[in-house]
């Protein structure tokens, strides 16, 4: 296992644990009303999408800084790896959502 793999694994674990704490630790939605179920699904999806976009933007910013020589190689590798992992996760979630939708559409009424 390389250092970059270890850093990516540690960062992924940290991101997931913070998301779990945020979702499991609060049983109310943004308006303060108790949601009863498992939280505000739309808010969770919106938050995840915003985090994904921010990660991708950070990767682009670091790439632009690398061209001008304003960043270090480890910072660049970490940002690009995080952006790549985020993109792969987003594509996997999209594929699963499409598959679930297709399964629902095949159900007999």
Question: Residue ranges of the domains in the chain?
Answer: 55-109
Q: Model pTM?
A: 0.58
Tens digit of each residue's pLDDT (9 = 90 or more) over 11-31: 766 666 566 555 444 444 444
Assess whether pLDDT exceeds 60 at residue 33: no
Is residue 88 predicted with pLDDT exceeding 60? Answer: yes
Per-position b or e across 78-88, b if 16+ CB within 10 A of its CB: bbbbbbebbee
Section 78-85 average pLDDT: 93
Average pLDDT of the residues of the chain: 79
């Amino acid at each position: 296992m390389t250092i970059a793999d270890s850093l990516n694994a540690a960062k992924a674990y940290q991101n997931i644990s913070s998301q779990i704490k945020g979702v499991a630790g609060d049983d109310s939605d943004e308006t303060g009303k108790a949601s009863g179920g498992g939280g505000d699904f739309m808010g969770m999806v919106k938050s995840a999408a915003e985090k994904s976009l921010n990660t991708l933007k950070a990767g682009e910013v670091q790439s632009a800084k690398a061209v001008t020589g304003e960043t270090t190689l480890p910072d660049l590798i970490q940002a690009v790896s995080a952006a790549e992992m985020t993109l792969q996760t987003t594509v996997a979630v999209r594929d699963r959502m499409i598959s679930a939708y297709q399964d629902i559409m095949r159900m007999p009424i």
